[in-house]
Amino acid sequence: MEGRLHVAHTDGTEGEAGPDDAYVIEPGHDAWVVGDEPVVAFEFESAETYARLDSIPERRARRRPQPHETIWMLTNAVVASSALHAVAELGVADHIDDEPVSIKQLAAACTVDPGALDRVLCLLAANGIFERQDDGYGHTDASRLLHSDHPMSMRAYSRMIGLPVMRASFGRLDHSIRTGSPSIELADDGGLWAYLLQHPEEREIFGQAMTGKAAADTAAVLSAYDFSRFDTIADIGGGRGHLLRAMLDAVPTAEGILFDLPDVIASLEIDRDRLTANAGDFFVDPLPTADAYVLMEVLHDWPDAETAAILSAVRRAASPGARVLIIENVLVDVAADLRGHTLDVIMLAITGGRERTGEQFAKLLEAAGFTESTLIHTSGPLRIVEAVVS
């Protein structure tokens, strides 16, 4: 790439930005970044150089937002998320394959107004979801995940968060802040689980959402931990068994036991060798005997008292030396974790549970009769807390 970009840094030093730096080329602001370094001035060798830099998307203008912009963007984040929920509900992504589709064709397929759909998709495209091409839209890697048939489809998850009961609960987050109780109780006194039992269509969306969300993290979990040491693996609260099936594929010598509520187990077709289903309620019924007990994003649904009861149920069923593996977005005390803290507030409003640190899990595990609590990182957002039955 020809030309030079001369920069003056905020510390008073000057220099040239290298060809691999992230260039900031949008003038008119007082905060800039080149790579990770703040700068206060630019000098382009020529207007041609300026245009050439601007034509490279991955090096397009990048600047630090001003404080008022940070507040504005977060305040209005509900608009983009609402657009995503609506597009997921309409199934727009299902009507786009490898080639872009005109907005008229998309609108006709979804029986919606073409002008309105175009404006909504423009907003999502600005966020990296879909790509505007001529008079239509094509897929990005992110928008492909909204396709119903994608093996890691996130369409159902977006639909779930956009359900009226969810929107209403987040809209009354002030209730949770004041009382410490989930605001979903304003919609249903029995909370989320009672609500889903009474609304089968929404329960189906919830089940699909949990399957799709977990599918994206399964590979990272399997690559971070050696499950081949176990002869029998019990997936407690494992839903449709997506994680357990992947474990059995990875460990052909292991047997798997899927434990979940009777209505969940009754809805499944267990057509897998070495996999058995066990219906029950972990607050009431005894758990199966196994070498390893997996709890993937289960405990964060519950407050500490209920979490302690679940861990105690595992301890009663397990033999000495068995392991419990808690797979969640375990919070790290010293690090800001946007995903983890977002989930934490979702749990506050919807389930009454919470995300926890490794230390908080260690205390709960010790009280339930487990030792040697260890935190294991994966290549994804989830972490594994392993503990041994004493």
- Secondary structure of residue 210 in the 3-state scheme: helix
Question: Which DSSP string do the residues of 32-90 spell out, in sequence order?
Answer: EEETTEEEEEEEES-HHHHHHHHT-GGGS---PPPHHHHHHHHHTHHHHHHHHHHHHHH
Which residues are paired to 101 by β-bridges?
137
Contact 259, 233 (CB under 8 A): no
Exposure string for 227-264, b = 16+ CB within 10 A, e = fewer = beebebbbbbbbbbbbbbbbbbeebeebbbbbbbbeeb
Task: Using alpha carbons, select from 90, 88, 84, 130 the residue that is nearest to residue 107.
Answer: 90
Cα separation, 300 vs 348, in Å, equals 10
Instruction: Compute φ and ψ for 92, nearest 5 degrees.
Output: -55, -45
Cα separation, 348 vs 195, in Å, equals 16
The one catalytic residue in 95, 150, 300, 377 is 300
Specify whether 85 is catalytic.
no
Cα separation, 283 vs 189, in Å, equals 20
By annotation, the residues acting in catalysis are 300
